[in-house]
A and B are shown apart, each in its own frame.
Chain A
Amino acid sequence: MLREEFRVHASYSGQTMFVSFPFIITMFSLSIAVTSGRLFAYTPLPDAILLLHVSVFLYGLSVGAFGFLGRQYLERTTGMRNYLVAMPGILPMRFRRTFLGMFLRDAIFYMVLLLVPATVGLVLSVPVTHFRLTSIGLLFGTALLSFLLGMSLSFFVSTVYMRSRAGFVVAVAVVSAIFATAGAARVIPFSWILPSLAAHELLPPLGSDLGAAASLALFGLGIVAALITGAAILVPERFEPPTVRARNELPRIIARLGRLEGYSALLGKEFVDLQRSGTYAKMFFSFVTPLLLLSFTAWFVRYGLQVPVGFNTVFYAGMVGFFGVILYNWMNNVDATDYLATVPVSVPQVIRTKLIAFLLMTTWIGVGFVVMIAWLNADTRLLWLAIPIVLVTSLYIVVMTAYLTGLRTNSFLFDPGVLARFSVMSMLPDFGLTILSFTIDRDLRLSAIGIGLVLAILGAITYILLKGIDEKWRGTEFGE
């Protein structure tokens, strides 16, 4: 399974490029470590460690949803590809064992891909930073535990989904309530729900209670074991997805899209796919969750860490726009596209169809969120500036992602070359808009001119990239 995962990733970018991904992470970690002196001046070490554990936990949460992923592989056609997870159907293997294998595979794969290189970066910084190797080791150990907690929780909740939708909703509600209690309401500290963080806080340089830290770490490992065991029990041994029947809605939908001549058939199919695959719900949650996290982070920085930063509606508008990449990624994960190779349709045509679908479906979500957050923060005075920002940045980020990754966003973002370009092209305007948003209260006119300039540049780049999609992806075939 590890070999399969490696080959799947390497098949998109080439082995050398893929192997260089951890190297880039090492360099990134090294540069952060070398400049950590300044970082700690603004964010004290305990806060930095808190943010690190929460981030790693969320990372684990994002890679552990095998219940969803495995089900997807088993249910839908995967064109010319097949995966080991589907093998229990024809080999004397058990689904339970296979899903556990997937958990172990991803725990090892993503640890080696990110956590280990990040730790190596810290070790390499020792001659400059004089970090203690034991502290780095403890950081790695506890961060790994946070990662495993996130993965196992995600694994458990996703297998609950395989058994019962109602049970899934209850599980998500309970987990959300616990985190809301810790995060938003600050009723309990995060260390109460992340034993790994609690253990880290008792270890040098923050503390020195080795015995209590070891107990907490063991407790955390116990939770991981319990969640994995629970998930394994919930994995159904006989996987027989129910036969789904549907009304023939496509002709009606295509007729409605008649004005978009040349795209109506593809677009109609896109909408039907998104609806029947349940991707609308996934898109909604995966868009709203980071937005809520962003709101929480902004709140936490301002009120929790007491850092006097003015997060206004314009700031949120910029951020919301950049989350569009998540939606575009989901749109590329609905179904295999191999069958399109048999009809007179090109890859650029399908990419443009997805962009139109994105515009038609999601623009209102971004605008709606910005209006809502402005209203909640009593900051509607800047909506006239915020709405153009969310529209232009959404369009820019999605067109840029489409240009760089085509129909395989998730995979190509593991290509270091593509990731580097994506990072530069997304971070630079994002930083620019963020900084300009912070200057609004000092000089609104100057900020508005600056923002207008950034939006004009983004608009121009969007136009160029949109035109370039045809040239870049013309020679690519479906399923490649």
Chain B
Amino acid sequence: MSQVLNNAARVVGRVPAIHASQLTKRYGTVDALKGVDLAVEPGECFGLFGPNGAGKTTMLRILTGQLRPTSGEAHVLNVDVVREPLQVKSLVGIVPEVESPPSYLTAHEYLYFVGRVRKLDRLEERIAHWFEFFDLDEGGTTLCKDLSKGTRQKLMLAAAFIHEPALVFLDEPFINLDPIYQRKLKDFLAKYVAGGGTAFMASHLLDIAGKLCHRAAVIQSGSIIATGTVDQIRAGDADLESAFLRLVGA
């Protein structure tokens, strides 16, 4: 974890970990994002909540250099996501919405592949750590296409953290995990953020996300309709779920 702190300090300095300004994304005639502004500070866990199709995954894909915005700009760890998407990907960890590791590699081979692409040292040691953490022994010799959804999700999480990034983007990280590993991941993320790491998380599991995140934003139809600390978003409601339902008018 000290490595995470070092990475964060080296890369981020005093600028926001994530800064987005007037981001828009248009698919044909549909506006997926409508001028979104966002800033996430280093060492913060930030939640992005919204109904299905609100623009969460689009936002996350733009911020990780996977998708070009129609207009606006965004910087992640002080790197322009449009101009240098590869640099962004080399610095951050990404857990995508759909867990789709390569069909024909074993879990061990996939982590080895990711480690080699990221030019990591102590690779076998890192793989052994994540195998133990997520109990991935099943995937040692089984091809990824034959792994359960939960194991594939664990594998994608391990791949996202294997290089000890200063910032991680997590799209529904708890989906497919059983309660034991949901708890384990939640504890790990809490430690990761306490150790200086930054997490940007899109999730529908408001109970877990609400306990983990310091600040959050609610997005609906491509626009941010509320942002602030979790308490500010709750604004007197009994829980985050009630506040969310009120905000999106459900």
Contacts and interface: CB of A to CB of B under 8 A. Distances in A.
Interface in A29-87: 75-80
Interface stretch (A229-237, A295-303, A332-340): A332-340
Interface in B90-116: 90, 94-98, 100-106, 108-109, 112-114, 116
B105 A79 contact: no
B118 A342 contact: no
A338 B94 CA distance: 12
A478 B145 CA distance: 19
Given A248-B140, A338-B100, A269 B146 contact: no
B12 interface: no
B112 A335 contact: no
B100 A269 contact: no
B143 A266 contact: no
B26 to A, nearest CB: 15
B96 A341 contact: yes
Interface in A371-404: none
Nearest to A334: B104
A265 interface: yes
Interface stretch (A183-191, A206-214, A270-278): A270-278
Contact of A342 (B94, B108, B109, B144): B94
B27 to A, nearest CB: 12
Interface string B103-138: 111101100111011100000000000000000000
Given A79-B100, A342-B94, A477 B143 contact: no
A344 B89 contact: yes
A341 B97 CA distance: 12
A335 B98 contact: no
Given A77-B103, A272-B105, A342 B113 contact: no
B141 A246 contact: yes
Contacts of B94: 341-342
Contacts of B67: 477
A335 B146 contact: no
A241 B146 contact: yes
A345 interface: yes
Interface string B139-177: 011111110000010001001100000000000000000
Contacts of A336: 100, 103
A244 B142 contact: yes
B227 interface: no
B18 to A, nearest CB: 17
B71 to A, nearest CB: 15
Contacts of A341: 61, 64, 66, 94, 96
Given A269-B105, A277-B103, A277-B104, A475 B117 contact: no
B68 interface: yes
Contacts of A238: none
A345 B66 CA distance: 11
B106 A339 contact: no
A334 B104 CA distance: 9
A266 B142 contact: no
Interface in B199-247: none
A128 interface: no
Nearest to B91: A344
B86 interface: yes
A360 to B, nearest CB: 18
B89 A269 contact: no
B101 A250 contact: no
Interface in A230-272: 241, 243-251, 254, 264-266, 268-269, 272
A346 interface: yes
A272 B145 CA distance: 14
Contacts of A338: 96, 98, 100
A344 B103 contact: no
Contacts, number: 115
Given A248-B112, A341-B96, A346 B86 contact: yes
A433 B144 CA distance: 46
Contact of B66 (A75, A266, A477): A477
Given A269-B113, A277-B103, A335-B103, A243 B89 contact: no
A267 to B, nearest CB: 11
B227 to A, nearest CB: 26
B109 A475 contact: no
A343 interface: yes
A245 B105 CA distance: 10
Contacts of B98: 79-80, 338
A344 B61 CA distance: 14
Contacts of A339: 96, 100-102, 156
A246 B147 CA distance: 13
A77 B140 contact: no
Nearest to A265: B116
Contacts of A75: 103, 145
Contact of A266 (B68, B85, B89, B117): B117
A344 B117 contact: yes
A352 to B, nearest CB: 14
Contacts of B95: 342
A78 B145 CA distance: 10
A334 B143 CA distance: 14
7 tightest Cβ-Cβ pairs between the two chains A and B = A265-B116, A344-B90, A250-B109, A342-B94, A76-B103, A276-B104, A344-B89
23 contacts: A75-B103, A75-B145, A77-B103, A77-B144, A243-B142, A244-B143, A245-B143, A248-B108, A251-B112, A265-B117, A273-B105, A277-B104, A338-B96, A338-B100, A339-B96, A339-B100, A339-B156, A342-B156, A342-B160, A343-B89, A343-B117, A345-B89, A478-B66
